[in-house]
Structure 1
């Protein structure tokens, strides 16, 4: 089972339990669906969920942190945002388990290639349970890990 927190513009926000292998669209269904008029651009409804993530739907400027994606989704963004955000954003650290490639690319010292490596690792291992797992991503050494540690969460 997966436990995910769906927040934002859905009929029944809150913590929902879903079968392993569920996707963002399943989380939206569990939350009663998206409210009419909500912009879902940027929310990858086909993305596999990870246990403990937050899916933020339709929250402008919310960013992404473990949900579904930036102006749309990522680990935590949804149409219009996610729970997390860019480094230095008021929302706090970026979720490795839900951030989009673009959000990861925006981190200092992470470019598009390294962002893809992080997403590949996340896909192969079912998400991140610890920031220290970044050390197992091709291209991340101790120094880069130390730089990223305060900017990200599992």
Structure 2
């Protein structure tokens, strides 16, 4: 083997140093790249955890949300009540003190879910109108006793064709000056008036 002179040895050493520096640089870049990937994955996991926590908190707030419901008719304490957002008719009745003895319990859909701003009407025994009759405030104008025809009168709770005909006959001779005058019509007493008063007017 040929002996290397001093200059050739220096060149070989320099090449070796350059090679070592190159290898070190490549390894360092790979290490930095792997750390970036690890950090990215870690951040993504953290974001998912935060998102999960936020969704869990939002879900909790939804469960605790309150709604306002107006219940009238044959319950012991009619009026405005506050319920949880997942409540049903049975919960509204319980909150209103329960049913009166003359409430037509067989026709009540206790399982029906209630919604915010809903008005629930509980009729008395013998009413023709379906118990599921409910009306949101502002949904439509009240029935004017002085101008309503038979069809409009029959939309009122507890008013069927026969009672509507009696109202029309009464109106042929008298004008309804106030809503309480409807009790002058045969077959309409205080209990039925209580069921009607929120839905009728005189103009």
Q: Which has the larger radius of gyration?
A: 2
Greater per-residue helix proportion: 2
TM-score, length-scaled by structure 2: 0.33
Greater per-residue strand proportion: 1
